Amino acid sequence: MGGLLLLICMIVSLIFTHRWSQRNKKGPKTWPFIGAAIEQLMNYDRMHDWLVQYLSKSKTVVVPMPFTTYTYIADPANVEHVLKTNFNNYPKGEVYHSYMEVLLGDGIFNADGELWRKQRKTASLEFASRNLRDFSTKVFREYALKLSTILNQTPFLNQEIDMQELLMRMTLDSICKVGFGVEIGTLAPNFPDNCFARAFDTANIIVTLRFIDPLWKIKKILNIGSEAQLDRSIKIIDDFTYSVIRRRKAEIEDAKKCGQQDKIKHDILSRFVGLGENNATDKSLRDVVLNFVIAGRDTTATTLSWAIYMVMTHAHVADKLYLELKTFEENRAKEENISLLQCDIEDPESFNQRIEQFSRLLNKDSLERLHYLHAVITETLRLYPAVPQDPKGILEDDVLPDGTKIKAGGMVTYVPYSMGRMEYNWGPDAASFIPERWFKDGILQNESPFKFTAFQAGPRICLGKDSAYLQMRMVLAILCRFYKFKLIPGHPVKYRMMTILSMKHGLKLTTEKRS
């Protein structure tokens, strides 16, 4: 009993001493051995806003956890130091790689060092390809029209729909067409089930949960719980992906034998297979394509969802955007010397024909003239970045520009979601949706990528930025020109905790046609 009493006293003393040492600390409450795990777990479903409350008081927040320490940063100077100045000290790291490897493999988003550099160089050349850009534009237009046609059907007019669900299906179909060169057909009025899409979503959610689940490795070894579910999902993903790779390799080989290289497709997979590199194994091709899909599907769909939500909850923005699109349409028709079709919005066929005519006026160059549309998308990304936080490993001890000391083996995470809401970054109206902030004297302005971090910055800045803007402009130009959206009363709009900032309950709304 005496020994037990002594142990209790020691534990109480340790807790008291630890808590006393934390009395002036800026950040969440921590405890011996478990750090801030309790508070972080309690706030898991609202973690991004949990970080906002701390980062608004301190530009750097240190959060000790049982097996590592997370340092969260929101100051552009610190972000530049991590993403550029001392870039080599902040790789994805072994911890992040171990969490994401099952889904991303050794693809560009999960690789470091020479492997990353090689993929980056190859990918940058491919993204600069005119053939790929023209193919992407054609595909993005095709699926934006497909979405519009669904919205134009009588069962969907003035009826509740989940716009995020439709956009997820649209971007999955379009990215699989651009990435794999295959039609998977999930965008249809009857919402057909697709095992690849379902498995992809499940895997994304579970690998995100690993970041705060200290037992995931045990569950993986025992093949139980979420890790067993993840294993089943990855098998479905791999079966689909490898079957497409084998089929595409055979198609390319046949085309070469017949001297019909001009018939080889322009999708990402075909282009990487066509490089003819000896080390382009099925596994490396699988990683390339899945990294592309996760980058281009969820990110674009969620940003479009938040953008539509912002537009329909800010009437003056909706009106201003509609006016820009209508003026654009009239001016482009004059340039092309064409007469705009007369449109009867009560006739679905007539309405579709008018939308198709409008879509033909949209290409990469003409879409870049829609400056207010660009500002709406960019302002959406400022407040609702597709990747709300991005962790990096720490190779060696370092000191951030603000004087914060960080230790090797920990993680440093820059937080785009918080950065967009910080008054010390954007002024007193930081929390407000104001597309006009992107103009100065009527001219569209850019911000430092270390301040506006939606596409990362430095050597790892997003290669697909232009492609993402192209698809988002294409879709929003068509939807906001010909449809008005209204949120279902009482529908909760909250984010879901996963790698990408999607809406937990979807985006339930009704549509109304515009002439």
Stretch 159-178: mean pLDDT:
91
Confidence band of 379 (pLDDT split at 50, 70, 90): very high
Phi, then psi, of 475 in degrees rounded to 5: -65, -50
Domain that holds residue 211: 117-381+455-513
Amino acid 283 reads: K
**pLDDT score of 222 more than 50:** yes
Q: Which helix (H) or strand (E) holds 512?
A: strand 508-513
Whether residue 462 is annotated as binding a ligand: the answer is yes
Whether the predicted pLDDT of 498 surpasses 80:
no
Report pLDDT digits (tens) over 471-485.
999 999 999 999 999
Instruction: Tell me whether residue 280 is in a domain.
Output: yes
Q: Cα–Cα distance between 15 and 236 in angstroms, integer?
A: 47
- Residue 336 CA to residue 351 CA, distance in Å, equals 21
Q: What is the pLDDT of residue 16?
A: 44
Is the pLDDT at 490 greater than 50? The verdict is: yes
How are beta strands 60-64 and 69-73 bridged, if at all? antiparallel
d(CA 439, CA 489): 33
Torsion of CA 411, 301, 137, 512, to 10 degrees: -160
Q: Taking the model in full, what pTM does it have?
A: 0.87
Q: Fill in the amino acid letter for 226.
A: S
User: For residue 22, is it within any domain?
Assistant: no
- pLDDT tens per residue across span 52-64: 999 999 999 988 7
Residue 15 in domain: no
CA–CA gap between residue 131 and residue 178 (Å, rounded):
11
Q: What secondary structure does DSSP assign to 251-292, as a single string?
A: HHHHHHHTT-GGGS--SHHHHHHTT--TT--HHHHHHHHHHH
Task: Report the pLDDT averaged over residues 206-231.
Answer: 89
Q: What pLDDT digit, counting tens, does each position of 125-140 carry?
A: 777 788 888 889 999 9
Q: Is residue 30 part of a domain?
A: no
Query: Helical H runs in 360-400?
Result: 364-367, 371-383
- Please indicate whether residue 373 or residue 158 has the higher confidence score (pLDDT): 373
Report how far residue 68's alpha carbon sits from residue 411's, in angstroms, rounded to the nearest whole number: 7
User: Into how many domains does the chain fold?
Assistant: 1
Is position 450 within any domain? no
- Provide the token pair at 90: 């902040």
Average pLDDT, the chain: 87
In a domain, 73, yes or no: no
Among 51-60, 323-332, 345-354, 430-439, the minimum mean pLDDT is found in 345-354
Q: Which stretches does DSSP call E strand in 340-450?
A: 390-393, 398-399, 405-406, 411-414, 439-440, 443-444
Q: What are phi and psi of 142, to 5 degrees?
A: -60, -45
- CA dist 36 and 295 (Å) reads 31
Tell me the CA distances in angstroms from 469 to 167, 195, 476, one per residue in order: 15, 28, 10
8-state DSSP, 400: -
Compute how many other C-beta atoms are within 10 angstroms of the C-beta atom of residue 93.
20
CATH number of residue 229's parent domain: 1.10.630.10
Q: What is the pLDDT of residue 221?
A: 92
Listed residue (206, 217, 65) closest to 496, CA to CA: 206
Q: Is residue 412 part of a domain?
A: no
Q: What is the pLDDT of residue 30?
A: 64
**Residue 62, in any domain of the structure:** no
Give the C-alpha separation, 200 to 290, whole Å: 10
Alpha-carbon distance 122 to 117, whole Å? 9
Residue 380 has pLDDT above 90, yes or no: yes
- Which is more confident, 4 or 246? 246
Q: What is the pLDDT of residues 425-483, one digit of tens each?
A: 999 999 999 999 999 988 999 999 999 999 999 999 998 899 999 999 999 999 999 99
Provide the pLDDT for residue 28.
76
Bridge partners (DSSP) of residue 392 are 412
Amino acid (1-letter code) at residue 127: F
Token pair 């999960």: residue:
110
- Please name the amino acid found at residue 353: Q
